[in-house]
Amino acid sequence: AETIYLKDYTPFGWTVEEVHLTFALHPTKTRVKSRIRFVPNPDVPPQEFFLHGENLTLISAAIDGATIPPKITPKGLTADVPVGPFVWESEVEISPETNTALEGLYMSNGMYCTQCEAEGFRKITYYPDRPDVMSTFTVRVEGSEPVLLSNGNKGDAGTGFAEWHDPWPKPAYLFALVAGDLVNHPDNFKTQSGRDVELNIWVRKGDEDKCAFGMQALKASMTWDEEVYGREYDLDIFNIVAVDDFNMGAMENKGLNIFNSSCVLASPETSTDDNFERIEAIIAHEYFHNWTGNRITCRDWFQLCLKEGLTVYRDSQFTSDLRSAPVKRISDVIDLRGRQFREDGGPLAHPVRPESFVEINNFYTATVYEKGAEVIGMLKRLVGDEDYYKALDLYFTRHDGDAATIEDWLNVFEEVTGRNLKRFKRWYSSAGTPRLTVTDKFKDGRYTLTFKQETPPTPGQPQKKPRVIPIAVGLLGPNGDEVQPTTLLEMTKRQQSFSFEGLASKPVASILRDFSAPVVLEHERSNAERAFLLAHDTDPFNKWEAGQALRRASLIASVTTGAAPDTAFLDAVVRVARDDSLDPAFRALVLQPIGQDDLAATLHAQGHTPDPQAIYDASETMAQSLAQELADSLPRLYADTTVDGPFVPDATGAGKRALNGRILYMLTRMDGGAQARAQFKTADNMTLKLAALNALLGQDTGTDEAENFFQLWKGDRLVMDKWFAAQVALAKPEKAADVAEALTAHPLFTPKNPNRFRAVFGALTMNHAGFHHSSGRGYALLADWLIKLDALNPQTTARMCTAFQTFARYDDTRRSLAKAQLTRILSTNDLSRDTTEMVTRILE
């Protein structure tokens, strides 16, 4: 397969002035007619006229009204075209019903829908399917479905047809069409300049009662973007559609966002607090793309972080403003370490702006999204809030309507601040997570911190240059008072010292406050100091981080030396758990176990070969010890998590329920499950019900409750995903693969629905000791199913292959078992380009 390089970028030889499309819908014989006006681009040397097109049956093609015979290639077509402007017309036939890849036009539960990002439009019609070709679209949809939708504003409509016009030039990846027997949850919004916008969430009949929260989130997002970024919505209508079969979370098509139903439908009975928060964030994310992605798009797919990093950054600001900023920051860092650091430390590491790819779908990664957002957070920290918003204003005015690059983005910051960002730009070009080591010295009232940065080699990048690292630091005096409030140190060299003067005694430094840079901080310090920070740090992130450091040190000692859980850790955490003055959400985060995969990464970085079973055993012992230490307080703490009144999915209630989950988990270890069974019976919302079921399953019990849950919810596909996932995620390591395999035989299991497939196999891969069981059963089962899935849906298959990305860190037995499965996948006939690229990179 061909590798595409950033350095080879060349603009398209024509501009596209107008696109007219007509769809005559049919499950297996949809006809798509296009009429497109091309005008030669005078700035580009002449090139062969090439239009992308895949899996299309060409019915006819014409230029300026005269039929032509184009030359069809596996990737598209070429044709002889006039020297000046011309009108291209074509008609193609496609088969949505048999399109199981969920890319292009496909069917989900009888409804037509599209997914065009990144390169799906070429499966709909012949077109220059690249993000730097932008045009206005007029679309006519013909079909017997009651609801016929496309991008932009409404045009004529009548029986069996609807027309849509999108006045904003857009790349083809933002095209969308939906047709089906849908019902809407309507609302409206008045923008800050007084424009009335019709809002709709379209769902299948029966889901109408699950739209109110999403609509509220949409309106909150629209208001927030006006208030914080001065960005207003720009069409008369904004439609959201919920689709069951979808490869990712959601898609920001202009004026017609399409959502995985799991990312928009919510009700207290069927959705957890985590679901509500995620839905709110994804609705905001897709809405925010209207400016960061749609009005200003990407020149090419190498610039993906331009829209994704910025939009993730914006949605994290939104969640911080609406909910709790510290809780959001801590949760984001847990996620970053779990997914992005994992990627950055292994064979799939790539820069935030990659320089080459085979299949772009494989680069919708935690590095592009989450590290991309971290880079923007660092930039904002370095230039300050005022200049950040000035730079953003300039970005929006200067590049509105453009297909832009990271250079364009950094230029506006350079212009506004007068800074030279050449070194900072390394965050975009260099892969890998920097390790930041710190030592300190105190003499004559002067406290000196010396930092060293080093980034381990990553594929294709053996040597690393130093990066600009913003390090937020505060100092605490011996009595716990803050003697130096948060100051930003700007590290630019490999090694650099910073001093603080006039201190009465040696302070305790709180370093990398608010996780001011995506680095691994290596700071040798005593457990007493960590416990001190957990008790006194004024920075909520570092307060939590101190507890993590204690817990991590104790677990590593248990795994490597068999040591019992550290009493300094147990005492400190027990104090936090009992401290009613602290936010329950924060206490829940302190009580949350460290992921076993994360511990394996730490062990590996420290030169050990991680043993998944030993990590599991140490984690279990730790959890048991914590439950025992807290045993006397558990009933009281449990009672305090009661939330009176009807369920409200806000941060306050969610925080209490998160703590409920942690306490109940411990209580179940002590009372044989009595409280969890009672909670399971009486809970009136999914958060409490699932917490109870999880607590029971975690103790290898709860069979009756699982059956009861199934009987109650077997008609609700999103709740059933939870049921599938919980059983696999919480199975004992030696049973996990068997449980997963048994569930694949369940009548409700289907690999065709990505949510269901991920429920079972995502859960298996997240059951660290289960997936990496020394029998190799986890590896073999996943490989069996990835091979089956690849024939249906390459995108989701390739994404799920990432479960194997850490295989090289384990012992010889596991390594060779995993390698054998990867090799087996790679040798499959007709393996997709997506999966081939992924497995090849993992094996390199």
User: Which residues are at the interface with Zn ion (CB under 5 A)?
Assistant: 308, 311
- Applying CB under 6 A, the site for ligand HT7 has a residue count of 13
Q: In the bound complex, which residue of the shown chain has the CB atom lying closest to ligand HT7?
A: 248
Q: How many residues does the chain have?
A: 844
In angstroms, what is the minimal distance from the CB of 252 to ligand HT7?
5
Other Cβ atoms less than 10 A from the Cβ of 20: the count is 17
Closest CB 168 distance from ligand HT7, rounded Å: 17
Contact mark string toward ligand HT7, 37..76, x via CB under 6 A: ----------------------------------------
92 binds ligand HT7 (CB under 6 A): no
Closest distance of CB 402 from ligand HT7, Å: 18
Q: Which of 163, 252, 286, 741 is catalytic?
A: 286
Q: Which of these ranges, 111-119, 194-202, 225-233, 832-840, lies near ligand HT7 under the rule CB under 6 A?
A: 111-119
Taking the complex as a whole, how short is the minimal distance between the CB of residue 274 and Zn ion, in angstroms?
A: 19
Cβ closest to Zn ion, residue 548 vs residue 796: 796
Q: Which of 259, 341, 364, 723 binds ligand HT7 (CB under 6 A)?
A: 364
Nearer to ligand HT7, 142 or 359 (CB): 359
Q: Which among 16, 165, 13 is positioned nearest to 87, based on CA atoms?
A: 16
Does position 248 interact with ligand HT7 (CB under 6 A)? The reply is: yes
Checking phi first, is residue 394 left (phi over 0); if not, alpha (psi -120 to 50) or beta?
alpha
Contact between 117 and ligand HT7 per CB under 6 A: yes
Interacting span for ligand HT7 (CB under 6 A) from 113-121, 162-170, 440-448, 530-538: 113-121
Q: What's the angle, vertex CA 465, arms to CA 359 and CA 383, rounded to 5? A: 90
Q: Is 685 in the site for ligand HT7 (CB under 6 A)?
A: no
CB of 776 to ligand HT7, least distance (A): 32
Helix axes 584-591, 540-561, angle to 10 degrees: 20
308 near ligand HT7 (CB under 6 A): yes
Instruction: Select from ligand HT7, Zn ion, none the partner in contact with residue 113, using the beta carbon and a kind-dependent cut-off of 5 to 8 Å.
Output: none
Nearer to Zn ion by Cβ, of 311 and 802: the residue is 311
| CA atoms within a 13 Å half-sphere pointing along the CA-CB vector of 112 | 28
Q: Which does 364 bind (CB under 5 to 8 A by kind): ligand HT7, Zn ion, none?
A: ligand HT7
**Residue 247 near ligand HT7 by CB under 6 A:** yes
Question: Residues 399-438: x/- map of binding to ligand HT7 (CB under 6 A)?
Answer: ----------------------------------------
Residue closer to ligand HT7 by CB (options 310, 473) is 310
CA 302 – CA 9 distance, rounded (Å): 10
Stretch that binds ligand HT7, among 75-83, 284-292, 471-479, 697-705 (CB under 6 A): 284-292
Q: Is 317 in the site for ligand HT7 (CB under 6 A)?
A: no
State in angstroms the smallest separation of the CB of 352 from ligand HT7. Answer: 15
Query: How many Å apart are CA 463 and CA 444, to the nearest integer?
Result: 39
SS3 label, residue 69? coil
- Residue 489's Cβ-count burial label (10 Å; 0-12, 13-18, 19+) is middle
Token pair 């650091």 in the structure block, residue: 341
DSSP 422-443: TTTTHHHH--SPPEEEEEEEEE
Query: How far is 660 from 647, CA to CA, in rounded Å?
Result: 14
Q: Which stretch binds ligand HT7 (CB under 6 A): 28-36, 249-257, 295-303, 461-469?
A: 249-257
Partners of residue 14 on adjacent β-strands:
40
Separation of alpha carbons 377 and 781, rounded Å: 40
Q: Which of 90, 108, 114, 115 binds ligand HT7 (CB under 6 A)?
A: 115
447 binds, among ligand HT7, Zn ion, none (CB under 5 to 8 A by kind): none
Of 598, 649, 635, 767, give the one whose Cα is nearest residue 697. 767
The string of DSSP codes covering 509-560 is: EEESGGG-SSSEEE----HHHHHHHHHH-SSHHHHHHHHHHHHHHHHHHHHH
Q: Which of 286, 359, 598, 790 binds ligand HT7 (CB under 6 A)?
A: 286
**Which range binds ligand HT7 by CB under 6 A, 28-36, 114-122, 751-759, 799-807?**
114-122
Task: Choose, by CB under 6 A, the member of 252, 273, 300, 790 that binds ligand HT7.
Answer: 252
Return d(Cα 117, Cα 92) in angstroms, integer. Answer: 20
SS3 98: helix
Partner whose binding site includes residue 126, from ligand HT7, Zn ion, none (CB under 5 to 8 Å by kind): none
CB of 308 or CB of 611, closer to Zn ion:
308
Run of H or E residues at 138: strand 135-142
Q: How many whole angstroms separate alpha carbon 11 and alpha carbon 402? A: 13
Q: Are strands 147-150 and 182-190 parallel, antiparallel or unpaired?
A: unpaired
Residue 108 sits at the vertex; the CA angle it makes with 105 and 111, to the nearest 5 degrees, is: 80
Token representation of residue 696:
């029971």
Q: Which does 350 bind (CB under 5 to 8 A by kind): Zn ion, ligand HT7, none?
A: none
Respond yes or no: is residue 227 known to be catalytic: no
The site partner of 115 among Zn ion, ligand HT7, none (C-beta below 5 to 8 Å per kind) is: ligand HT7
Question: In terms of CB distance, is 131 or 702 closer to ligand HT7?
Answer: 131
Which contiguous run of DSSP H or E holds residue 455? none
Residue 285 binds ligand HT7 (CB under 6 A):
yes
Minimal distance, residue 342 CB to ligand HT7, in Å? 20
Between CA 645 and CA 836 the distance in angstroms is: 53
Cβ atoms 706, 690 nearer than 8 A: no
Select from 710, 705, 618 the least CA-distant residue to 668: 705
Cβ neighbors of 704 (< 8 A, separation 6 or more) are: none
Give which of 774, 752, 749, 775 is closest to 763, Cα–Cα.
Answer: 749
Given the complex with ligand HT7, which of 362 and 411 has the nearer CB atom?
A: 362
Closest contact distance (angstroms) between CB of 214 and ligand HT7 is 15
Q: Which CB atom, from 200 or from 311, has the smaller least distance to Zn ion?
A: 311
Binding residue for ligand HT7 (CB under 6 A) from 94, 178, 251, 736?
251
Specify the 3-state DSSP secondary structure of 783.
helix
Contact call for residue 277 and ligand HT7 (CB under 6 A) = no
Best CA proximity match to 525, nearest among 541, 511, 540: 511
Strand 435-443 relative to strand 520-522, pairing? parallel
Kindly list the catalytic residues: 286
Interacting residues with ligand HT7 (CB under 6 A): 115, 117-118, 247-248, 250-252, 285-286, 289, 308, 364
